[in-house]
Amino acid sequence: MTHSLQLSSTISGPQPGDTFLAGDLSSVLAHASRLKAASRAGSAGDRPLLGRNIALLRPGPPGPEMPLLQRAALELGARVAHVRLGPPIEPAGTKFRGLAQMLGRLYDAIDCSGLAPAEVQLIEQYAGVPVYDGLEGPDHPARALADLMTLRDHGCVPGTNTQIVFLGDPLSVRARNFFELARREGFGLRMIDLSGAAGDAVFSVDAVDPDHWVLHAPSGPIGAAQGAQNHRFALQAMLLATMPA
């Protein structure tokens, strides 16, 4: 299956208006929290993906910094390869099908970035292994998992007395993912427009800059480093939930 906006074997790839299946993501969120607790206790345990191979399929060469997804996979014991796409191949042609089949033979999972959704779906169809449509990207539910984990680290717990104020575009994919998961977990949400203010809200999400969300707790803005750490655990939980044992 293509793991992008949904964790469902019946739905392959994102469609306009889709959201993830929050029940599945709640289970992944719990797994990510356990991974984090084990890491803090210094008992991360065995590397469950030891011997597995993951391909990062990209249109260009890797950047100078190690991608967060690569680090998350390496910590689980997997081998990660950057696979650069060559000249464009017609998705409907036999060459594209052959490429996808070859990738499926070489790798146990494939993460695609910079590809059209139709291309990702075809790779998934012919590769026969888990295929992710930008697992590390802001529109993937793993980012929403990390956002909620970060707020919970600062005492944001489900209940009628806890409300998260959201400032920004509620229709963005990341926002819709966050809303679905937060509601599933029992959090109250309140949205305000750009002219509003969070007022006396204890927890808030400032998404005015869609590329740089800022989470707020009673103590003030939460550092980006903590969010990145939780994102790594969310990625690991997603890999473990979708790669067969």
CATH classification number, 2-136+231-242, choose in 3.40.390.10, 3.40.50.1370, 3.40.1410.10, 3.40.47.10: 3.40.50.1370
Sign, CA dihedral 168-170-173-175, equals positive
Residue 127's pLDDT is 93
Other residues' Cβ atoms within 10 Å of the Cβ of residue 18: 15
Domain residue spans in the chain?
2-136+231-242, 141-222
Residue ranges of the chain whose pLDDT lies below 70: 1-23, 44-45, 87-89, 91-93, 160, 193-201, 245
User: Under CATH, to which class is 141-222 assigned?
Assistant: alpha beta
CA distances from 166 to 53, 128, 173, 184, 189 (A): 39, 39, 14, 16, 7
pLDDT in tens, 7-33: 332 223 333 333 445 557 778 888 999
Residue 17's pLDDT is 34
Residue 194's pLDDT is 58
Ramachandran bin of 93, using left for φ above 0, alpha for ψ from -120 to 50, beta for the remaining angles: beta
Q: What is the pTM of this model?
A: 0.86
Residue 215's pLDDT is 96
Residue 192's pLDDT is 79
